[in-house]
Amino acid sequence: MQQDNLFSKPAEYTIDSCSLMAMFNDEPWTSKKTTPGLWERISGLIADGVIISHAEVLAEIKKDGKKGEELFNWANAHTAIFKPHDIGVEGPVIRGMSAKYKHLISNYGKATDAYADPWLVAQAKTKELKIITQETRSGVGSK
């Protein structure tokens, strides 16, 4: 796993927009208002570089105004968490997924929450990260 600098910890997790949305909403048990200690711990792991995300997740947050102003402002203030595309290694992973998981790939760029997903999966696979998400398995191959 690659570190951003000599003093940062190696990334272990990549976080999806749905999990960030859950933390910035008022209702779920994972919200930072309901469980501030959880948010403080996650925020610390983000600051340490243990939790990262993908540039496509940032684009998804910016594209969809329904994700909330507080999350939008937080994401814009923490752009370093959102790592850029690494087409050379992520591209082949996405191409490999496309035959079995067409629903993931075909949603790219459409007004849907799914378009960052293939990039997040590719980032996790190539950097050996665990994915933090609120999503459940659905669609082709879910059973």
Average pLDDT, the chain: 82
pLDDT digits (tens, 9 = 90+) for 35-57: 899 999 999 999 999 999 999 99
Tell me the C-alpha to C-alpha distance, in Å, between residue 140 and each of 25, 95, 121. 30, 16, 16
Distance CA 111, CA 126 (A): 26
User: Is this prediction's pTM over 0.95?
Assistant: no
